[in-house]
Amino acid sequence: MALKKPPSPWADNKFYAFPWYKWFTDLWTYVTNLATTVAGLSSGVTTKVQLLTSGTTFTPPAGCYEVRIRRMVGPGSPGRGHGAASNPGAGGGAAGEALYNRILSVTPLVGITYQIGQPGTAGTGAPTAGTDTTITNGTITYTAKAGTNTSAGTQTGLTGGGRSGPTGGGGGAPATAGTDAPSEGEDTRAGASGGGGGNGAASGNGAAGGGCNEWSGGAGGTVDAATRGGGGGGAASPFGAGGIGGSAGGVANGVGGGAAPATSYGAGGGGASGGNAAQTGGAATAGAIEIEYEEQL
């Protein structure tokens, strides 16, 4: 039996009636889908991003030979508090040191260890010191320092944990503004510093904490009519804003500092406002490590 020939677009002058647009559209869809499939088969890997906020070990999957640290931060420092009576507001807490774009060589299915730095504890004065964030492959260790619990800080040039804001001074001196973190880069960057507490005079608003990249530091607290100074704002980190400084707002005993937002890893807490009773600073957030790696399909 003779084979039946397919219809020809040229037969019976039907060339212009043939559905050329649909034919070319279907062909293009087929070719692009085929190219996508071939590309996926040839690469055989997918890129993943993971945020480490707890635990101590990361196990590279099959096909993973290096881990890129996209950003890594030490914990922030809580805001400062004050004792039984203090008209000046207390300073905001510092942000942790940040690292960007570092590479660790790894072996597939062999774990590497890390430590998520924890902030110190807020009190009615300077908070306790925090612990650093670290990650290591056994040969190379990267460290992001904790934000410091003093106004001296550990900054050297562009590195180190941020400085806590000072308690408000007397004599009408304005609050000390927090220092912004240096711009992001392929390096280590110092943490931002906390804002200074208000001075306990009519102009005694607390200063805002220092900013970091697109994030602003926590706002400083406001002074009230009884000249109880506002607390300094907490410093921002690469992950978010700092805590808000306490505003007395007519509360004779003062108000404690605001905590840094839970997902603002490495940010500082706000300082307490002035008042007639002891107040504690706001809590800071722990550090974090954001990594990028390839996984075999």
Per-residue pLDDT tens digits for 222-273? 988 778 889 999 999 999 999 999 998 888 899 999 999 999 999 999 999 9
With a pLDDT cut of 90, the percent of the chain lying above it is 51
pLDDT at 1: 47
pLDDT at 84: 80
Long-range pairs, 172-176, Cβ under 8 A, ≥24: 172/199, 172/201, 172/203, 173/199, 174/199, 174/203, 174/207, 175/89, 175/199, 175/204, 175/205, 175/206, 175/207, 175/220, 175/229, 175/230, 175/232, 176/91, 176/207, 176/232
Higher pLDDT, 258 or 172: 258
49-61: average pLDDT: 97
Phi (first) and psi of residue 11, to 5 degrees: -70, 140
Q: Which amino acid is at 280?
A: T
- Average pLDDT score, the chain: 83
Higher pLDDT, 164 or 169: 164
Q: Where are the domains of the chain?
A: 46-297
Q: Is the pLDDT of residue 150 over 60?
A: yes
Res. 216 pLDDT band, cuts 50 70 90: very high
Q: Is the pLDDT of residue 143 over 80?
A: yes
pLDDT at 163: 76
Helices (H) and strands (E) in the chain, counts: 1, 9
Q: Is the pLDDT of residue 22 over 90?
A: no
Q: Is the pLDDT of residue 281 over 90?
A: yes
- pLDDT one-digit tens code per residue, 98-113: 999 899 999 999 999 9
Distances (CA, A) of 206 to 197, 257, 266: 5, 11, 21
pLDDT at 172: 47
pLDDT at 12: 54
207-229: average pLDDT: 89
Q: Is the pLDDT of residue 155 over 50?
A: no
Question: 6-10, 125-129, 274-278: lowest mean pLDDT where?
Answer: 6-10
Question: 9-23, 55-69, 189-203: lowest mean pLDDT where?
Answer: 9-23
Most confident of 37-41, 84-88, 114-118, 273-277: 114-118
